[in-house]
Amino acid sequence: MGVADSKPPRSTAGSGRIVISVDAMGGDRGPAAVIGGCAMSASKNPDIGFILHGRRDELEPLLARRAQLRERCEIRDAEGVVTMDAKPSHVMRKGKDTSMWSAIEAVRSGEAQACVSCGNTGALMAVSMVRLRKLDGVNRPAIACLWPSRNPSGFNMMLDVGADVRADEDDLLQYALMGASYARNGLGLESPRVGLLNVGTEEHKGRAELKVANEMLDQRQSLGGYKYVGFVEGGDIPSDRVDVIVTDGFTGNVALKTGEGTAGLIRDFLGEAFKATPLSRIAALLAMTSLRRLSKRIDPRRVNGGVFLGLNGTVVKSHGSADATGVSAAIKLAFKLAQSGFNQRLAERLASAALPGNDPASREAGNGNIE
């Protein structure tokens, strides 16, 4: 059943609030960081409520210390926990008692408008695909992430960054359509600029599927509601030339991890440089305001949250090592997308674009395949 046919979500954690279903046990830092992120979001937003999924005996003491959460949270007791090294296939067979599965089920049943988890990415995608199902016409869901850039919004968006290592020309076109819809609803861009990541900007460069996708993305601009800028290179990812970067999951994930590692390296080098001598320490004090501004600009916690696109429900994957600030950023993103009715708009955009694979035979053949 598609999004357009689904019942409107109903709130169980507060009348009139947008409810976020949270996997409280996922992530490296445990439930304390997740509850801390929920508390930060609740203190800033009176229109948000939570369904927390996890071990009740661990969650209740943490909630008791957070006055701003007591009237906004419902706990769903779930004894099992999906570990970071768990195989998706194992979770699909034996994970129905886990907090991750329970969090997805709350979105499927309409009790929550979005799900947030810091847990195992592969398992989360597998459970989401089977329980929420793919939108009509979508061959492969994608994970989209925000990337600090020179654009006025401060960010670009890239997909896929790890849902599937493969992508043919039809998949890349779908990514472009989904990414453009996300940019409109998540970044407020009326006509986002879309680029296709390649080893060069010349039309003769790249693999065969990239050359075909280049033509397809150009032809579908008006239907997709985006402006196609052509091939882009790695150096364009943080530039102001493009708003949405389309690529396969293998390339996107490598680029994402490289970017995160480089940002951490720059912070470490700056710290070492300013501690090297007494004069550099004085210089650091004089430059403190500028350094804080730079640190905030490249802080990966501010853009924490990869969105699973192409499913009958909104799922945001927070970084596994996210602290309370990172979890709060992921919740903010989930709230914003739920508030905008993003998934409904995405389904309508995909239907109007008449994507390849949108015929009934293709949908039947593609349903439920976990790779």
Beta-strand runs (E) in 107-243: 114-117, 142-148, 155-159, 193-197, 227-232
The token pair at 135 is 């939108």
Write down the pLDDT at residue 350: 75
What residues contact residue 361 under an 8 Å CB cut-off, 6+ apart? none
Low-confidence winner among 78-82, 110-114, 160-164 (lowest mean pLDDT): 160-164
Q: C-alpha distances in angstroms, 293 versus 109, 235, 265, 296? A: 42, 23, 17, 5
Write down the pLDDT at residue 299: 60
Write down the pLDDT at residue 302: 63
Write down the pLDDT at residue 50: 95
> In the predicted model, is pLDDT for residue 358 greater than 60?
no
pLDDT-derived band of residue 360, with 50, 70 and 90 as boundaries?
very low
- List the domains of the chain with CATH numbers: 1-138+310-341+359-371 (3.40.718.10), 139-304 (3.40.718.10)
Instruction: Order the strands of the 73-77 sheet from edge to edge.
Output: 73-77, 48-54, 18-23, 114-117, 314-317, 306-309, 142-148, 155-159, 244-246, 193-197, 227-232
pLDDT, tens digit, 9 for 90 and up, residues 80-90: 999 888 898 88
pLDDT-derived band of residue 370, with 50, 70 and 90 as boundaries?
very low
* Cα–Cα distance for residue pair 206/204, rounded to 1 Å: 7
**How many other CB atoms are there within 10 angstroms of residue 282's CB atom?**
11
pLDDT-derived band of residue 315, with 50, 70 and 90 as boundaries?
very high
Write down the pLDDT at residue 4: 35
> In the predicted model, is pLDDT for residue 109 greater than 90?
yes
> In the predicted model, is pLDDT for residue 172 greater than 50?
yes
DSSP state of 329: H
More confident residue, 103 or 189: 103
The token pair at 212 is 């075909």
Q: What is the mean pLDDT of the chain?
A: 83
With beta carbons less than 8 A apart as the criterion, state whether 21 and 312 touch: no
Can you tell me whether residue 306 is helix, strand or coil? Answer: strand
DSSP state of 352: H
pLDDT-derived band of residue 139, with 50, 70 and 90 as boundaries?
confident
> In the predicted model, is pLDDT for residue 13 greater than 60?
no
More confident residue, 13 or 178: 178
Dihedral sign of CA atoms 299, 304, 306, 307 in order = negative
pLDDT, tens digit, 9 for 90 and up, residues 205-233: 888 999 999 999 999 888 888 999 999 99
The token pair at 179 is 């990414």
* Cα–Cα distance for residue pair 176/180, rounded to 1 Å: 6
- Work out the average pLDDT over 133-137: 86
Write down the pLDDT at residue 297: 62
The rounded percent of the chain whose pLDDT value lies above 90 is 40
Answer yes or no: pTM beyond 0.85: no
With beta carbons less than 8 A apart as the criterion, state whether 88 and 125 touch: yes
* Cα–Cα distance for residue pair 208/62, rounded to 1 Å: 54
Write down the pLDDT at residue 304: 67
pLDDT, tens digit, 9 for 90 and up, residues 245-303: 999 999 998 988 888 788 778 778 888 888 888 888 888 777 777 767 766 665 655 66
Q: C-alpha distances in angstroms, 185 versus 20, 268, 279, 334, 341? A: 18, 35, 48, 11, 8
Instruction: Give kind and range of the element (H or E) at residue 259.
Output: helix 249-274
- Provide the residue type at 3 as one letter: V
pLDDT, tens digit, 9 for 90 and up, residues 191-208: 999 999 999 888 888 889
